[in-house]
A and B are shown apart, each in its own frame.
Chain A
Amino acid sequence: MRHHKMMTWVSISGTAVSIFLVLVFFMVNSLSTVEVAPETHRHLIYGGTQTYVRVISGDHEGWSARGGATYDMAQKLYEGLEGVDIVSYVSFFPSSVDVVIDGQPPLAATGMNVDGNFWKMYDFKFITGRPFTEDELLDVTTPPIILSEKTARKIFDTTDVTGRSVNIGGVIYYVTGVVEDVNPILRNTWADVYLPLDNSVRQSLYDDPEFASIGPIKTLLRYKEDTDPEYVKTQVKSRFATINSGFKSEGIEIVYEDMPATPEFMGSVQHWSRSPQVTKVASKQWLVYLLLILLPAINLSNMMRGRMQHRISEIGVRRAYGARKRDIVYQLLGENFIVTLAGGVIGLVFSYLFMVFLSSSFISMVDSWGTSLETKMTTPSFNMLFTWQSFILSLGACMVLNLFTAYVPAWRAASVEPAIAISKSKN
C-alpha cells in the first residue's frame, strides 16, 4: 500500500465519498422512524390521517373533499379497536398562533391541539407542572395550555410558570406545565404551545352537508407490542363499510385508504397532506443504496485490477512457495478491507458532521407548513443520528464494497499459474 501512496489515497477517498453518500441518504430516511424522546415508541404509533369523502349520487355527484376528521367521525372510526393500547386525537396539522404579550410585539408560535391521552402516548419530559387531563379539555373558564421550554422563556424569561396566564389570539389560557423542547423533525410531537382539543377544533371544516365528517382532527393509535397491524386494518376497514352503508342514503361515501397509516408514513414530511394509499414510500430506497455503492465499486474494482497486475509476480512467488489460492484471496481481501474501512470511518465521521451542521442547507427535513424560517433551519441532533443501525450499515456497506471491488480481481490474480505470473514481472 505504501508503494502506491497516491492510489491508496484515491481508493480511500473514493470509499469515503461512497460511504458518506450512503449514510447521509440513510440518515435522512431514518429520521422518519428514529426513536428518541418524546417519540420513544414510534414503531407502535399508527395514524388515522386523512378523511376522503366522495359524493356518489344526487345533485353534487362527483364532488369530493379531503381533510382530517371531525371528533365524532374520528371516534367512530378508531375508538376501541382491539390491539390498540392508547388512542389520542390531535389537530390535523400545526397552526400558527399569536401569543400576545403586553407591551411587546406578538410572538408568532406553532400550536397543536391535543387531548389528554396524547401525554400518555408520548414520553414528554415536564420541567415544571403536569400534563392536562381529558376532563380539562372543555374547561372554558380556565382552559389549560402547555408550553415548550423555549416558548416559556420567550414569554416569561423563566420556566417556573405553572398557573400563569397566556393570551393567544385574545383567549386566555392557564399554564399547567412546561415541557422540554422537541426537535421539529419529530413532526408528531413538536410544537411551541400545546392547546387543549376544545370544541373549536372538533367541528366540520365544511358548510356542505356532504362533507360534514371532514374536520381538523388526526387520530394517533398506539398498538400493543404484539398487535398484528393487518388485524387492526381489518377492523378499521369494516368500520368504514358500516359507516358507508349508513351514508348510502345520503349519496356519499367515505373512501377507505389503507388506514391506519404506518409509523414510517406518520414520520414522513407533511404526511397529513397526502393519502397513505397514494404514497408508497421506501421501495426505491434500496435502489439508491445499491447505486451509491455500485458506482464507486466499479471504479475501485478497475483500480484494484490495475494494482493486481502490478503485484502479479509477487502473487506468483507466494503461490510457488505453496500458498493456496484461497490464502492469497483472503490476504488481498484483508488488505483491501483496511483501505475500505479507513474510507468508511472517514465517510462516517463526515456524514455525522454534515447532518448535524450542514444538512439544513441542503435538505428540508421539517414540514414547511406553519413553521418559521428559524424552525425550517433545524438540523437533527446527535442522538437522532448515533444509532446502531447507522454503524451496522456503514460496516456492511464497507464489506459489500470490499467484496465488489476486490474479490473478482483478487481471485483472477490468484488464479494465474505461478510460472506465468512470475514471467510477467516486467515493471
Chain B
Amino acid sequence: MKRNLLTQMRNEWRDNFWIMIGLSIVSLAIWLFCSALFTTMRYSFLPLGFDEKDVYVVSIGKVASSSPSYKNYGEETSQVNNDDLRALLAMIRGSQNVEYAGFSKNGTPYVMGGWNASLNIVGNEPDTIGFAANFRFVSPDVVKVLRLRSLTGKDTDYLHNKLKEGEIFVAPDPEYDASLIGKKDDRGWIFGYRPAEALNGKYVMKTQDSINTYHVADVVELVRRSGYDSPNHGGVIMPVDESGDIGDMSDILIRVKPGCGDKFRKEFESTPEMMSRRNVYLRNLMKLSDKKLAAERNEVLDVRLYVTLIVFLLIILFLGLLGTFWFRMQQRVSEIAIRRVCGASRSDIFRRIISEGMILLIGATILTGIIGWLILKKTELIQGFSDMELIWFELATIVIVAVGIVLSILYPAWRAMQIEPAEAVRDE
C-alpha cells in the first residue's frame, strides 16, 4: 500500500512539487521566526527577583543652578537639598496609603542602565578573581518595598536589619550559575568566575576602592532589569545611609498598601508639599508595572509579531492545502470507492491521506534543511546559535508544520472517509 501511495504521488508530481516548495518556504520562515522568538524569550522564564505589585516609583528632579528659581544657600546648598529630599521621603512615609518607601540609585527595576563594578574578597592574599555585578544602592526599606528574596531562607526582616547595619547582599547570575553546576572546585572558583555563594559571609571590597570593606550578609535572588533582559552578571545590593549625602539618588521606591494605589496617587498629586521643596522636586509618579510596560515594550511587540507571523503563515498553508486536497479528494472519489469495495476500511482511507501529507512534509523538511543550512546560516538572518539549537528550532518547526498539515487535510480526509462506494461508482 505504501509503495502504491508513492507511485500515486509520483503521478501527481507537478502538484506535489509545488506543495513541497510552498511547505519549504513556510517551514523556512517559521524556522527563522522560531529562532528569533527564542532569542527574545530566552530569559523571560527566569524569576525577576522582586515583587512589583503595589509598587510605585517617583523620580527625583533638581532645579538647574542656572535657573532663576534656583535657591542658592552658598556652601549650605547641598545640605539644604539633602534635608529637603529627606523631608519629601518622610512626607511619603507619613501617608496612610504607604507601607514602605526608600531611596534608590540604580536600584529601580525596569531602568535599563547599569552601575557595574566588581567585588573582591578581603584576605591575606590579594584576590585576583572578582565578582562582577550590577550594583544597586537602596535604602534598607527598599528590601520590603521590592520584597527581595533570600536564597538561603532568611526573611525580609533579617535582610532589612542587615542592610540597616551597613552589610550588603550579593545575587548570583542565574544563567552563568546554571552552566556551572557541579563544576566548581573546592574554593568555589571556576574559570576566573566566582559564584555568589562563595562570597556569602565574607568581607569584600569594591575594585578600585581600597578603603571601604563590606560584610556580605546574604545571597539574594538577582533583581533583574526586565523580564527579557539577559542577566549576564551578578548583582550587589548596597545600603544607602539616608542620613548622609543623598544628592545622587535618582528615585524613591514606594510600596503602597494593597488596593491603595489610586488613593496614594490622588493624595500625592494634590499635596504640593509632598512633590517639591525649594530646589528638589519629585516627578513622574509611575506604577512599577507601567514602567515594565514601557521597558519591555519592544520585546513584547517582537514576541507578538513573530507569533502572529507564524500563525499567518500557517493560515496561508492551511488554506492552500485544504483547497488542494479538497480537489484531490473529489478527483479520487471513484478510486477511494474502489478501495472501499476491495476491503479498505474508513480509517485505512483516512490514514492513507494523512500519510500523503506526512510524506510531503518529509520532502519539504529535507528541502528546508538543505536550504536552511546552506543559506540562512551564512546570512545575518540567523546568528549566534549553536548547531544543536538550530536543530531544535527545525524540530519545533517540523512539529508546527506537521500540526498545520494535519489540520488542513483533516476535513478533506474526513469527507473522503464518508464516501459511499455504491454511490461513488454508480456512474462508472
Contacts and interface: CB of A to CB of B under 8 A. Distances in A.
Interface string A271-302: 00000000000000000000100111011111
A306 B268 contact: no
Interface stretch (A81-89, A123-131, A323-331, A358-366): A358-366
A301 B327 contact: no
Contacts of A299: 22, 316-317, 319-321, 323-324
Interface stretch (B65-73, B74-82, B203-211): B65-73
Given A98-B61, A300-B323, A306-B327, A170 B69 contact: yes
Contacts of B333: 427
A7 B69 contact: no
B316 A305 contact: no
Interface in B12-29: 14-15, 18-19, 21-22, 25-26, 29
B421 to A, nearest CB: 16
Interface stretch (A8-16, A56-64, A69-77, A238-246): A8-16
A296 B320 contact: yes
B275 A17 contact: no
Given A296-B316, A368-B298, A426-B334, A170 B64 contact: yes
A171 interface: yes
Interface stretch (B95-103, B194-202, B277-285, B351-359): B277-285
B40 to A, nearest CB: 13
Interface string A82-115: 0000000000000000101001111010000000
Nearest to B22: A298
Contacts of B305: 362-363
B155 interface: no
A104 B61 CA distance: 14
B157 interface: no
B327 A170 contact: no
A259 interface: no
A170 B297 contact: no
A31 interface: no
B323 A10 contact: yes
A108 B283 contact: yes
Contacts of A167: 69
A309 B428 CA distance: 18
Given A10-B322, A14-B319, A306-B331, A295 B25 contact: yes
A298 B308 contact: no
Interface residues of A, number: 46
A11 B320 CA distance: 8
B25 A169 contact: no
A248 interface: no
B308 A362 contact: yes
Contacts of B70: 170
Given A169-B64, A170-B68, A105 B269 contact: yes
A392 interface: no
Contacts of A298: 18-19, 21-22, 25, 320
B63 interface: yes
Contacts of B290: 373
Nearest to B63: A170
User: Is the interface on chain B under 10, 10 to 19, 20 to 34, or 35 or more residues?
Assistant: 35 or more
A302 B68 contact: no
Interface string B298-334: 1001001100100011011101111110111011011
A11 B326 CA distance: 12
Contact of A6 (B281, B285, B326): B326
Contacts of B258: none
Q: B29, B283, B298 — which one has the most chain A CB atoms within 10 A of its CB?
A: B283
A169 B301 contact: no
Q: Is the interface of B mostly helix, strand, loop or mixed?
A: helix
Interface in B344-398: none
B327 A310 contact: yes
B294 interface: yes
A98 B19 CA distance: 59
A318 interface: no
B315 A300 contact: no
A290 B217 CA distance: 61
A354 to B, nearest CB: 10
Contacts of B327: 7, 303, 305-307, 309-310
B297 A373 contact: yes
Given A302-B18, A303-B324, A17 B331 contact: no
Contact of B301 (A363, A373, A426): A363
B301 A361 contact: yes
Contact of A106 (B29, B281, B304): B281
Contacts of B26: 295
Interface string A339-369: 0000000000000000000000111100010
B293 A373 contact: yes
Interface of B: 14-15, 18-19, 21-22, 25-26, 29, 61, 63-64, 66-70, 268-269, 272, 275, 281-285, 290, 293-294, 297-298, 301, 304-305, 308, 312-313, 315-317, 319-324, 326-328, 330-331, 333-334, 427-428
Interface of A: 6-7, 10-11, 13-14, 17-18, 21, 98, 100, 103-106, 108, 167, 169-172, 291, 294-296, 298-303, 305-307, 309-310, 361-364, 368, 372-373, 376, 426-427
16 contacts: A21-B312, A105-B275, A169-B63, A170-B68, A170-B70, A296-B316, A298-B21, A299-B321, A302-B18, A303-B327, A305-B14, A306-B15, A306-B323, A306-B330, A364-B301, A372-B294
Given A98-B61, A105-B283, 11 more contacts: A10-B322, A17-B315, A18-B316, A106-B61, A108-B284, A170-B63, A296-B320, A298-B22, A302-B323, A303-B320, A364-B297
